[in-house]
Chains A and B, each alone.
Chain A
């Protein structure tokens, strides 16, 4: 009977084939390590954000007059509203923490290399969408930091030569940040961007299952197959990886819930203290800082302090910042190394990857503090070392001596 029903469906929709392709027969390399968990955790956080977002939407009021009070209404008068909101704010920070780890995993093990270039590009698009979601979402509570962060970030478009000011007015929909700006950011945050994110994540996973997962050794597991045509060094995704992921999700949620219930402000990083004050366009906060996940790029923006070729320092900073985000997409074509994994790459690759990580953290720190001449100099130096990782890659990855890559994966 069950078989009959399944067959009826299968003739009309490839249910069984899809389940086999993506779950029960998807070959996952046996040597995948802890870094490979970020992907599945990102999906978990995506679900958390969508669910909590829908519930927030039921009580949020997207107007300049009512937004701030409606957040307090959610926090105080809506039953368990504070849990929903803290879930969403903690989720936002978790989203970025995980996507940075996920990207770093890809950089470490060369997951962007052939044949996974498109997979990497799709992932980069999800990161871009996430940045936009983070920004638009941050404005919605209409606190002081919401307002002034929007003011600072949007004014960057005004620095574009010739048509910048007109473009800025067009983006804001007004001559200054106002309720109209809030409404359009709201529309993007709850409709356009989540739809796009879900679509791109879906295609990202389809592309992954087309080319197969990379692994810490960066070897092609499809080279050696058993008599049934199943790659030797793999295991079916379901149930083996699913059970492993379930356990990992439990551990992750313990951390997540600890922040959510006991440290919801995250020391002023998950929710910034300045945002406890309603937006006031006549009162600039002493110290405007973006959320922690943008601070490396914010430091780059501030690092450019001199005009060049008739272009303003602000515009050049904007370009450097945008380039810092955009340059990830070029990685598959910058890396000329014959091997994928950092395990077998040469000393220069290891050096520059370490330098990149240090630069990222230092810039991240510098983006949270007020600038002094010494800090600006540090930001300039680390901006250069950040880009050095990418721009020198075609040279150092081509001419360094790599270790021999084994034919099959190694289990540590």
Chain B
């Protein structure tokens, strides 16, 4: 067993080195951590969430972002959306169900419009990680200094417009008073009055109420669904793979137990 524990050790050591602050200038709710992504809580087995995500994608994102390695039909099958319903509501133009999900926009033109061609998103969740995508989608805010009037906390000066502003509403980068934390981890207090001290911290995101069609919680859930859909896009086989994997493991456990018994039986000869 020493051998295998060493193999495991080797893997765990090499796996332990993850990278630092991936989410740019995104502030945590308490304002103490910068650059940590929120968890998208992706779940490949949550079909309803994937369906809602697909709906948002096809309506808001597909105009610019292709999914050129995936096919419409597969999406409808995997997400358990009936073919006719899928064709009627989620396939636009004259595309066939067996086609790859391409877009009509020429990358040459879009490069002129946005400064960069919008990337294909089939594999984006693999490249960035779902948590990054989720946090990025929530982090657009009004910034008049940018050509498109919006900026992003996670991906500064990104060339993408805030397509979902109708859903989310107008979000602003604001300053707030937060407790002043001493180096020992406690909250600093005024030595005379005992009142807890605060400092001003900027960069919090706040939605102006009533400007969007969804509440903050609803929008977060929508973005989780969308992220879940993109995670499915990168790894459409996850569900099937893990289901098969369980059977393969079961088979191997039986095989290993039998071969162990056989080994013990032969070992008796040697003494």
Residue of chain A at shortest CB distance from B129: A273
Q: Beyond A240-B267, A250-B255, A254-B253, is A262–B245 a contact (Cβ under 8 Å)?
A: yes
Judging by beta carbons under 8 Å apart, are A269 and B15 in contact?
Answer: yes
Decide: A76 and B259 in contact? CB cutoff 8 A. Answer: no
Give the residue of B2, B123, B256 whose beta carbon is less than 8 angstroms from that of A277.
B123
Write the nearest CB–CB distance from B263 to chain A, whole angstroms.
Answer: 4
Q: In the complex, what's the smallest C-beta–C-beta distance from A28 to chain B, in angstroms?
A: 11
Residue in B1, B17, B69, B255 whose CB lies within 8 Å of A72: B69
Flag the segment in A110-118, A122-130, A344-352, A362-370 that touches B. A362-370
Is A198 an interface position by the 8 A CB rule? no
Residues of B within 8 A of A251 (CB): 4, 256
- The answer to whether B270 has its CB under 8 Å from any CB of chain A is yes
- Specify the chain B residue showing the minimal Cβ separation from A73: B69
A243 CB to closest chain B CB, in angstroms?
Answer: 4
Among B6-14, B39-47, B141-149, B169-177, the stretch in contact with A: B6-14
Rounded to whole Å, the gap between the CB of A254 and the closest CB of chain B is 5
Among A86, A235, A250: residue with most chain B CB under 10 A: A250
Determine the residue in chain A with the shortest Cβ distance to B266.
A243
Instruction: Check if B17 sits within 8 Å of A97, measured CB to CB.
Output: no
Contacts A240-B266, A240-B269, A277-B127 hold; do A250 and B4 have CB atoms under 8 A apart?
Answer: no
Taken residue by residue from 243 to 274, chain A's Cβ proximity to chain B (1 for < 8 Å, 0 otherwise) reads as 11011011111110110111011110100011
Whether A161 is near chain B, meaning CB under 8 Å from some CB there, is no
Report the minimum CB–CB distance from B179 to chain A (whole Å): 33
When each residue 66-86 of chain A gets 1 if its CB lies under 8 Å from chain B and 0 otherwise, what string results?
Answer: 000100110111000011001
Task: Kindly report which residue of chain A lies nearest to residue B70, judged by CB atoms.
Answer: A76
Chain A residue, CB-CB nearest to B125 = A276
Q: Are B252 and A253 in contact (CB under 8 A)?
A: yes
- Chain B contacts of A277 at CB under 8 A? 123, 127
Stretch at the interface among A14-22, A34-42, A45-53, A385-393: A34-42
Cβ of B242 within 8 Å of any chain A Cβ, yes or no, is yes
> Which residue of chain A lies nearest to B270 when distances are taken between CB atoms in the complex?
A235
- A276 contacts B123, CB within 8 Å? yes
Q: CA A292 – CA B244 in complex, angstroms?
A: 28
Contact A97 B11 (CB under 8 A): yes
Tell me the bound Cα distance from A37 to B2 in angstroms: 11
Assuming the A-B contacts A269-B15, A273-B126, are A246 and B236 also in contact, with contact meaning beta carbons closer than 8 angstroms in the complex? no
Counting CB contacts under 8 A, is A205 at the interface? no
Shortest beta-carbon distance from A268 to chain B in Å: 8
Q: How far is the CA of A264 from the CA of B259 in the complex (A)?
A: 27
Question: Contacts A76-B70, A250-B259: A369 and B6 contacting too (C-beta < 8 A)?
Answer: no
Q: Are A30 and B270 in contact (CB under 8 A)?
A: yes
Q: Does A170 contact B (CB under 8 A)?
A: no
By CB atoms of chain A within 10 A, which of B3, B236, B252, B256 has the most? B3
B105 interface residue (CB < 8 Å to A): no
- Whether A399 is near chain B, meaning CB under 8 Å from some CB there, is no
The smallest C-beta distance from B219 to any residue of chain A, in angstroms, reads 27
Q: How far is the CA of A252 from the CA of B256 in the complex (A)?
A: 10
Residues of A within 8 A of B68 (CB): 69
Interface: B74 (CB within 8 A):
yes
Partner of B244, one of A37, A83, A249: A83
- Partner of B263 from the list A69, A83, A244 (CB cut-off 8 Å) is A244
A361 at the interface (CB under 8 A from B): yes
B51 on interface, CB distance cutoff 8 Å? no
A29 to chain B: closest CB distance in Å?
12
Interface status of B260 (Cβ within 8 A of chain A): yes
Contacts of A97 in B (CB 8 A): 7, 10-11
| Distance in Å: Cβ of B245 to nearest Cβ of chain A | 3
Is B122 in contact with chain A by the CB < 8 A criterion? yes
Task: Judge whether A101 and B13 touch: CB under 8 Å.
Answer: no
A247 near B122 (CB under 8 angstroms)?
no
Is B151 among interface residues, defined by CB-CB distance under 8 A?
no
Contact, CB under 8 Å: B256 / A247: yes
Give B12 Cβ to nearest chain A Cβ, in Å: 10
Q: Which residues in B have their C-beta under 8 angstroms from that of A273?
A: 126-129
Task: List A contacts of B236 (CB < 8 A).
Answer: 76
Closest residue of chain A to B245 (Cβ to Cβ) is A261
Q: Does chain A have a CB within 8 A of B248?
A: yes
* Bound: A317/B124 CA distance, A: 35
**Would you call B182 an interface residue if the criterion is a C-beta within 8 Å of the partner chain's C-beta atoms?**
no
| Distance between Cα atoms of A400 and B61 in the complex (Å) | 71
Please report which residues of chain B, range 116-160, place their CB below 8 angstroms from some CB of chain A when the two chains form the complex.
122-124, 126-129
Question: CB within 8 A of B249: which of A100, A257, A269?
Answer: A257
- B241 CB within 8 Å of chain A: yes
> Which of A69, A254, A265, A266 counts the most B-chain CB atoms under 10 A from its CB?
A254
Report whether A261 and B242 are in contact in the complex, using a CB–CB cutoff of 8 Å: yes
Query: For the complex, what is the distance from the CA of A244 to the CA of B15, rounded to whole Å?
Result: 30
Q: A246-B262, A250-B259, A251-B256 are in contact. Are A75 and B3 (CB under 8 A)?
A: no
Interface presence of A338 (CB below 8 A): no
B6 to chain A, nearest CB (A): 7
Q: Is the CB of B3 within 8 A of A365?
A: no
| A307 in the interface (beta carbon within 8 A) | no
Using a CB-CB cutoff of 8 Å, which residues 215-247 of chain A contact chain B?
A: 235, 239-240, 243-244, 246-247
> Contacting B234 at CB < 8 Å: which of A239, A250, A276?
A276
| 11 more CB-based (< 8 A) A-B contacts, given A72-B123, A101-B7, A276-B124 | A38-B3, A83-B244, A97-B11, A101-B3, A246-B262, A250-B255, A262-B242, A265-B126, A266-B11, A267-B15, A277-B127
A-B contact pairs, 24 of them (CB 8 A): A69-B68, A73-B69, A76-B69, A83-B244, A101-B3, A101-B7, A235-B270, A240-B267, A243-B262, A244-B267, A246-B263, A247-B256, A250-B252, A253-B255, A254-B249, A261-B241, A264-B241, A266-B11, A266-B15, A267-B15, A273-B128, A276-B123, A276-B126, A276-B127
The 6 A-B pairs at the shortest CB distance, nearest first, are namely: A261-B245, A250-B256, A276-B126, A72-B69, A34-B3, A276-B127
